[in-house]
Amino acid sequence: MMDVKGSSNSSSTTHSDEEMTGDLRRGPWTVEEDFNLINYIATHGEGRWNSLARCAGLKRTGKSCRLRWLNYLRPDVRRGNITLEEQLMILELHSRWGNRWSKIAQHLPGRTDNEIKNYWRTRVQKHAKQLKCDVNSKQFKDTMRYLWMPRLIERIQAAASATSASPAATVSAPATDHHSVSNSDVGTGKPGHGATWGQWQ
């Protein structure tokens, strides 16, 4: 095991030492760096990220190593688009807890808090903007509760029915489109008069 002398120093001191070397890597991670990080954590486990970066021989900040591991390299990280079921869960949990992304992520196995936050910002807040209302306003919350969440449930049920009716059909087969609200229906937030639904996927 590499000598970790000085690992008890504060993170600020570590940052200063690293910056003085002037050779910290920036930008995309390489395959070799990913391998080194995965191999080190598999052998020694997670720890103080600044010390871990140095001991693993990575010229990266501790923060960069932590984010790379948690958001991309962990064995249980899920890949691919947020599913309909996950979308519904995010909407339900956000209505209870607000922007507590880590707490929400605990109920979506394999999804990171950062991924859920990005989904909320790029999808949900985008639709609030289209409605010209604040994401925390009563109008928008009512739109989610009375339009979007019921529509999600309908689409989930339709997809499940289609799958059981066609055993050969794959999970990725698209659900029928007749549940979608047209692009011209952006308005009051009431069923049949709400924000664009077909764009959510």
Q: Residue 62's domain is classified under what CATH number?
A: 1.10.10.60
- 42 and 93 inside one domain: no
How open is the CA angle 142-152-196, to the nearest 5 degrees? 65
**pLDDT for res 73:** 85
- 178 and 113 inside one domain: yes
Per-residue confidence at 132, pLDDT binned at 50, 70, 90?
confident
User: Can you give the residue range of the structural domain that contains 145?
Assistant: 84-185
Q: Would 2 be classed as within a structural domain?
A: no
- 90 and 178 inside one domain: yes
Dihedral over alpha carbons 16, 18, 24, 30 (to 10 degrees): -130
Phi-psi region of 197 (alpha: psi -120 to 50; beta: other; left: phi over 0): alpha
pLDDT tens-digit series, residues 92-125: 999 999 999 989 998 998 888 888 998 999 889 9
Q: Would 157 be classed as within a structural domain?
A: yes
- 98 and 58 inside one domain: no
pLDDT tens-digit series, residues 45-99: 888 898 899 999 999 999 999 888 888 888 877 777 889 999 999 999 999 999 9
pTM score of the predicted model: 0.56
* 187: CB partners within 8 A, 6+ apart: 193, 194
- The tokens for 115 are 């991924």
Measured from the Cβ of residue 159, the count of other Cβ atoms closer than 10 Å reads: 20
Q: Count structural domains, the chain.
A: 2
